[in-house]
Amino acid sequence: MKRVVAVVLACLASAPSLHSRNGTANAAPAPAATESCFLLYEVGVGEVRRRPSTICATRLLPASTFKIPHALAALDAGVLSGADEKMAYDGSPTSMASWRRDHTLASAMSNSVVWYFQRVAERLGMDREREYLKKFDYGNGDPSSGLTTFWLGGSLQITPEEQMRFMRRLYADELPVSPRAMRIVRELIVQPPGAVVNATGEHPFAAPWPRDTVVSAKTGSGTDRGGKSVRWLVGHLARGSRAWIFVSTVAGSDETPALAAVDQAAAALRQERILR
């Protein structure tokens, strides 16, 4: 883990600095091989900080960040009854040890269990997948490449800026689904203090956090059809009476660290003095 963090910090050091409201910068451009985008919005205030990059407006595979809208659609449509709905593991081979057991919606979200959400897709069907993508105005809204894979490097793509708009609507109760569905999904992505959890386990995240801090987030990691590796962390942070929404994206070669977007977000939130 120390080696991964060191690689990410080296990458951040060579990338454009995070901009404040006045748009000034003090670092050299990032190498062309790796692009990054960090967006931070304070609820009730507006945009606080962004990493200026063409990738902020570039559509990329959503990978497991799509579990957020997927769960919303499933709960709203009634194909999942709630956070405790269990599905049985069928024994199919998988590289992730955390996936080789039965899962509820809650544990499938935390452990980013692909097979669970592929069954969700089968329950929804292609027509409802299209309907909810349109309702959510989610990226290019295209599930045509395959019912159980369209978000995993297939036809569905979304920009970091579009992810930000979607997350803002989720936390403002503005998505066209039931309030219950939005409440459950927001609860499902709350992270343990000082950490972010994904399929590979629990990872330190700018720990220790200040008192009264709650971080809600979802990771995503995958490779698109063009061979570009994409890393995501999208989420919400509450601290006392203030709240922020953030989107962290790093894209590059297959050597891009799996936690690149997580570490970028942690560094940026510490620099902004939100997590310190």
User: Mind giving me the DSSP string for the chain?
Assistant: -HHHHHHHHHHHHHSPPPB-TT----SPPPPTT-EEEEEEEETTTEEEEE---GGGGS-B--GGGGHHHHHHHHHHHTSS-STT-EE-------S-GGGSS-EEHHHHHHTT-HHHHHHHHHHHHHHHHHHHHHHHT-TT---TT-TTTTTTTSS--B-HHHHHHHHHHHHTT-SSS-HHHHHHHHHHTBPPTTEEEETTEEEE-SPSPPTTEEEEEEEEEEE-TTS-EEEEEEEEEEETTEEEEEEEEEEESTTS-TTHHHHHHHHHHHHTTS--
Q: What are phi and psi of 219, to 5 degrees?
A: -85, 165
* CB atoms near residue 225 (< 10 Å): 10
Annotated catalytic residues are: 64
Question: How many other C-beta atoms can be found within 10 angstroms of the C-beta atom of residue 153?
Answer: 22
